[in-house]
Structure 1
């Protein structure tokens, strides 16, 4: 009987898997409507992402997402799949193509994110030295001061646009200092990264060109006069490593850190503020018990997941995953936001609960999992904790500055919808 039931379930899963669903940017960012039905259909479902022709297997369940992200049979570099003959661009290449980026800039994209094994470890080890727990914890007083300096003039005006006035300048100032970007250049870098993240190709290409050239200039300066920053550390590591970084790799790592160290943290701060304003009973609880902030931030990360989709992974062999067959060379991707709303892992996941006790480890996959877990996770949590404290707890009068339905959003291919602005009254 057990065998018959298992065969029936497998048959149902296979039938569901034959359907290909178009995963729009709106659905990518909708944890309930976007993923609930897909999660019910099968452990893996076939989807196409915006501007990507090749179907991928989508993982929507929490335990399956963690398993996929740590399974050595899946790799990020399609070109390293043994014996695979491809007749078209990879998923990542199609997503880059969707942006319309010139070919000469593509070598600067995807570093560390789209590599595996020893190459990934080599690059990651060079960067993690700047993100140790001790170094991040030591930044708290500085981040608190930066945040106070940003909010003080806004409080006098009684209004602010949180992305423009707090989220982006806070994240930009902190990550640029770690990288080695001079203070006077931070506002310009912030403008470039916002243009780059806008999805508007007329802004994206000039911004990318400017960031590449600025990074090359910084590299040349630090080669001649090193400082206590990440770029100078590249050269120190090169003296001890026979596989020293090339200039292209240095530029690519700088761009990676600028992008991931500014845009997702800034968007998360805005999304977290909005989530709490949307749940006044939770905000009231947080204001009454500020000690809950350390638990509230992980719950807000679960609830909003600023990076809703994981990078594509390719099967290195024919295999069974979550009981379903995946062929060599086929791609799977994890719906990180969807996994964070899996009712099998989280009780009433659609409810924001700042007292929620999350499970093992960090208890969510908003920062990914395993070898590619976000290097800047602890920094992003610290920035959010300080920003939420000063914006919502120390300023108890903070309210939304426009009608909820008037908020503006923008789409990024394969990355969902994001707030364009968040006006508030202080």
Structure 2
């Protein structure tokens, strides 16, 4: 029997309790329509089911070739891609739609393997000094002012942009211009988005050519030269798409997470006071904030590759399924009583202890870098600056939301 789908609001999507608690108790996966979209999807909310969905080979990312159900509407993934990329020139938009989250199997493995090898623990650890210096310089300039600083627009975004430029290998002389293009493309006011895209693509192509001729120790050099026996080398388009993957996933989501992480601690003064009194808890505070916030609340759309039953729900070939990562990370069966409570001393078992970075073959490539940057920021903003506090009344903060998502901070005024 077909049930009427529940239309979710942005408030529903970002509420870790709310509708998710009701959905977890249902026998079948609920059919929902995410905010701003039109196509119903089956929503997975239980921790165990979300983890299983992310490793289920019969749930795929690429819908091409699958038969759509007779009553299927438009494709939710197409709706999101259209909202994001329709304004871009076709010859450039292809670099954006080549996101690893949209591929499966051998094609996903081919594109991901060089990136996985390039994201070595040694390369990430070597970035710590750069992250610490850059964060300290940004904060020193902001603290010299009399008014509160916007720790999203004036700190988190510039910091994550500089980190990606350093990782990719953008040369010092080119960095102001390239960072300007990234700002215009990734988090500007929207008036120069296309110009930012074109500038980044053209510069990355030039950088690839230079690194093919004279490799250095940066990530572009590693991607351009590290091809294993039997592997198909990444061509220029693949390399440009890989850099855009880093820009799309390594700047705005981490910057927003840093802002929301700081706000979560301002919202919980007892936890903030404990972190300042016991800075050794920083190692536990980082994964707990990742779990508590779970910035990517809703995962990429999955499609049933055949008729089968998943989570006590009969799926037909082509049926869209989406995982609610925030719901999973607040599942009482996994986290016990009051999982909506922030506890910086929370102890996790093996592994991450949360699904904020996903799970399985599509696990976030930048997870280690995200943890590193978060620990540096919490240390420098909150522990080393014990007087740092929210610079406006809590109800004076501004939020916005994107299609299929909840609300995100637009600014975070803080007195340093």
When normalised by structure 1's length, the TM-score is 0.89
8 A Cα contact 1:410 1:419, kept in partner: yes
CA distance in 1, matches of 2:172, 2:35: 37
User: 2:355 is matched with which residue?
Assistant: 365
User: 1:123 is matched with which residue?
Assistant: 111
CA distance in 1, matches of 2:261, 2:394: 15
1:50 Cα deviation from its structure 2 partner: 3.3
Q: 1:253 to 1:294 in 2, by over 3 A?
A: same
CA distance in 2, matches of 1:176, 1:198: 15
Which of 139, 158, 168 lines up with 2:127 in the alignment? 139
CA distance in 2, matches of 1:214, 1:392: 37
CA distance in 1, matches of 2:177, 2:13: 31
User: 1:391 is matched with which residue?
Assistant: 381
SS of equivalent to 2:309: strand
User: Alignment RMSD, CA only?
Assistant: 2.4
**What are the Cα deviations for residues 302-343 of structure 1, in whole angstroms up to 9, with x where unaligned?**
111121111111111111111111111111111111211111
**What are the Cα deviations for residues 279-320 of structure 1, in whole angstroms up to 9, with x where unaligned?**
000001111110000100100011111211111111111111
Q: 1:380 to 1:194 in 2, by over 3 A?
A: same
CA distance in 2, matches of 1:409, 1:357: 31
Instruction: Kindly indicate whether residue 239 of structure 2 is the aligned counterpart of residue 250 of structure 1.
Output: yes
For structure 1, list consecutive stretches of 5 or more residues without a partner in the other structure: 1-13
Structure 1 stretch displaced more, 318-327 or 372-381: 318-327
8 A Cα contact 1:43 1:60, kept in partner: no
1:201 Cα deviation from its structure 2 partner: 5.7
8 A Cα contact 2:211 2:221, kept in partner: yes
8 A Cα contact 1:198 1:410, kept in partner: no
User: 1:30 is matched with which residue?
Assistant: 15
8 A Cα contact 1:282 1:353, kept in partner: yes
1:56-205 matched pairs, under 5 angstroms? 56-81=41-66, 90-99=75-84, 100-102=86-88, 103-108=90-95, 109-157=97-145, 159-198=148-187, 202-205=191-194
User: 1:3 is matched with which residue?
Assistant: none
Q: 1:322 to 1:143 in 2, by over 3 A?
A: same
For structure 2, list consecutive stretches of 5 or more residues without a partner in the other structure: none
Q: 1:385 to 1:415 in 2, by over 3 A?
A: same
CA distance in 2, matches of 1:187, 1:353: 39
1:194 Cα deviation from its structure 2 partner: 4.3
Instruction: Kindly indicate whether residue 292 of structure 2 is the aligned counterpart of residue 303 of structure 1.
Output: yes
Q: 1:405 to 1:186 in 2, by over 3 A?
A: farther
Instruction: Kindly indicate whether residue 403 of structure 2 is the aligned counterpart of residue 403 of structure 1.
Output: no
Q: 1:299 to 1:239 in 2, by over 3 A?
A: closer
SS of equivalent to 2:100: coil
**What are the Cα deviations for residues 354-412 of structure 1, in whole angstroms up to 9, with x where unaligned?**
11112442111101111100000010011000100110011000110111111112222
